[in-house]
Structure 1
Amino acid sequence: MRKIYTPTTAASDVENVLKMLEGRWKLIILFHLFDGKVQRYSDFGKLIPDISQKMLAQQLRQLEADGIVARKVYPQVPPKVEYRLTEWGQTLCPALDALLKWAEQKDHFNNPDEQNEQNDAATQ
């Protein structure tokens, strides 16, 4: 059954979602795991060169604790650790894709001349 939101419950739930995804690096980490991709810990250092090892470990631990990312440790020397989105984490992909599409529209809406030209063309 779908939850019916009021402004108060929606605000509370959005706050909870933002707590799970807050942090400078979490969304970037997630984008590198989309489409079933599996990344080793060392891969993230190459993919996100500006992130420190401490911050990477912290963000991955939080995503794992929230059930968004799964961590698999292989019993070998040196240790091999892989990360992937959980099944639930994969359900974030369409929402974040929609967020990217929304962000792409920013320039269009911030350029009133372009918007007026398109409106004029549509009314003719």
Structure 2
Amino acid sequence: MSGAPFTWLAVTVVAAALLFVILLLWSRGRITPEERERRRRRLVNQAGRITDGFVVDVHTAESPSGAVSHLLHYSYDLHGMNYSASQDITALGAHLSRDPRRIAGPVSVKYLPGNPSNSIVICEDWSGLRD
């Protein structure tokens, strides 16, 4: 009978350690929204086709913390359908040749053939912006 408390203690410690390892692996495996968006851009860049589009607007917003974000609104026609889309270009500032608020006019748009609404105008390795 004297071994029973020790057994329960050992089982509890092993269970807690196992739970800790599972939670650690689970939290490391989660992909951040920024990483998910970067992977989406990379996929569209690698597998996408190019068509002509037009920048409709660039919306600039400032958060209460002072961070500025830029949302690029554009449209393009494909197979008789008109698509309107937007892309957050905040993280791509280093890849822009000019102030995001000055982006306007015709652009090249990359889209996925199987899902034409999944599109980009710019990514880390390609830009559809015209100078």
Q: TM-score, normalised by structure 2?
A: 0.20
Which has the larger helix fraction? 1
Which has the larger strand fraction? 2
Q: TM-score, normalised by structure 1?
A: 0.21
Greater CA radius of gyration, 1 or 2?
A: 2
